[in-house]
Amino acid sequence: MKTLKTTALSAVAFSFVAFAAQAGDPAAGESAFTSQCQNCHNVVNDDGDVLAGRANVRTGPNLYGVIGRQAGTVDGFRYGGSLVEAGEEGLVWDADNMVPYLLNPQDYLREVLDDRRARSQMSFRVRDEGTANDIIAFLADFSSEAEEEEHAAAD
């Protein structure tokens, strides 16, 4: 019984450390977004307010609400077929799948779709996992859940 408790406590502690390491730093993510992502992406809310990035960027899709969104589904953006297919097969962006995508978009899609010919239109790669987690933490501030919490706090 003591071994089971020790094992359970160790698993909980490990999970907490793994989550904390994965969580990322939104401030560092904002800096990384500004230096690495805003040339192709922006974050524009439903009212048309630019929350991050530049106003008239059209290379990549708007990343407003990307965390928790089905891949390849921003209205009006022309995605590559592989990303659309991944979304149709159930790919929803979260930290667990967005990190490997940011590190190597093409290899990630090839693995997810089990298709060595899968292609990504995003040629840029984030250099390390920590930076990818920071960017994700920053983008999570613009998810629908974050917006709902902000509106609830204002009421």
pLDDT band at 145 (very low <50, low <70, confident <90, very high): low
Question: How much is the pLDDT for 22?
Answer: 57
Q: Where are the alpha helices (DSSP H) in the chain?
A: 2-23, 26-32, 81-88, 95-103, 105-113, 129-140, 144-154
List Cβ neighbours of 52 (8 Å cut-off, separation of 6 or more).
30, 33, 34, 38, 42, 43, 63, 138, 142
Pairing between β-strand 43-44 and β-strand 50-52 as defined by DSSP bridges: antiparallel
Query: pLDDT for 91-117, tens place per residue?
Result: 999 999 999 999 999 999 999 999 999
| Secondary structure element (H or E) that encloses residue 50, with its range | strand 50-52
Instruction: Note the pLDDT of residue 23.
Output: 82
CATH fit for domain 24-154, picks 1.10.760.10, 3.90.1710.10, 3.40.30.10, 3.40.50.360 = 1.10.760.10
- Is residue 2 scored above 80 in pLDDT? no
Q: What is the pLDDT of residue 56?
A: 81
Contacts of 84 (CB under 8 A, 6+ apart): 71, 72
What is the structure's pLDDT at 146?
A: 47
Please tell me the pTM assigned to this model. Answer: 0.77
Domain residue extents for the chain: 24-154
Please report the pLDDT score of residue 108 as a whole number.
Answer: 96
Q: What is the tens place of the pLDDT at every residue in 111-133?
A: 999 999 999 999 899 999 999 99
Question: Which distant-in-sequence residues (6+ apart) come within 8 Å of 16 by Cβ?
Answer: none
Q: What is the pLDDT of residues 10-56, one digit of tens each?
A: 333 333 333 334 589 999 999 999 999 999 999 999 999 999 988 88
Given pLDDT bands bounded at 50, 70 and 90, which one contains residue 144? low
31 with 130: CB under 8 angstroms? no
